[in-house]
């Protein structure tokens, strides 16, 4: 059974996607930060966070979904909250 592969060319700039790079790889959150004529600059939100240029013709095993603005906002609240556990939003000045 042949599995259809996707390419980075299907992804849109400034959008967040949940993808699987290979069949046996974990689900990864990426954002397309920059698009040129032939390449995309991708931010991967792994641990540690990674950035890379990808050819538009490079393959992706599965594009699971493009996250909605609401989902991105909810994720950012969780992600940013866990990155700095000592930060507290305390608006009272002493």
pLDDT single digits (tens) 26-81: 999 999 999 999 999 999 988 778 999 999 999 999 999 999 999 999 998 888 77
Confidence at residue 14, expressed as pLDDT on a 0 to 100 scale: 95
Q: State yes or no: pLDDT of 20 exceeds 70.
A: yes
The distance from CA 40 to its chain's CA centroid, rounded to whole angstroms, is 12
Sign of the torsion formed by the C-alpha atoms of 46, 51, 52 and 56: positive
Higher per-residue confidence, 2 vs 62: 62
Choice between 5 and 27, residue whose per-residue pLDDT is larger: 27
Do the domain assignments include residue 88? no
Tell me if 94 is assigned to some domain.
no
Domain-embedded: residue 90: no
pLDDT, residue 79, reads 80
In a domain, residue 22? The reply is: yes
Residue spans of alpha helices (H) in 1-94? 69-83
Per the domain annotation, does 93 fall within a domain?
no
Domain containing 75 equals: 6-83
- The 10 Å CB-count burial string (b at 16+, else e) for 74-90 is eeeeeeeeeeeeeeeee
The whole-number pLDDT of residue 47 equals: 74
pLDDT of 94 > 50? The answer is: no
Give the whole-angstrom CA distance, residue 7 versus residue 4: 10
Q: How many helices (H) and strands (E) does the chain have?
A: 1, 7
Please count the structural domains in the chain: 1
**pTM as predicted:** 0.79
């Amino acid at each position: 059974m042949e599995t259809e592969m996707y390419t980075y060319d299907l992804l849109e700039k400034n959008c967040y996607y949940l993808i699987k790079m290979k069949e046996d790889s974990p689900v990864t959150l990426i954002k397309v930060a920059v698009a040129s004529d032939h390449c995309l600059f991708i931010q991967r939100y792994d641990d540690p966070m990674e950035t890379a240029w990808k050819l538009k013709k490079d393959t992706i095993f599965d594009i699971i979904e493009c996250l909605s603005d609401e989902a991105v906002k909810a994720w950012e609240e969780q992600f940013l909250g866990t990155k700095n556990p000592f930060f507290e939003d305390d608006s009272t000045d002493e």
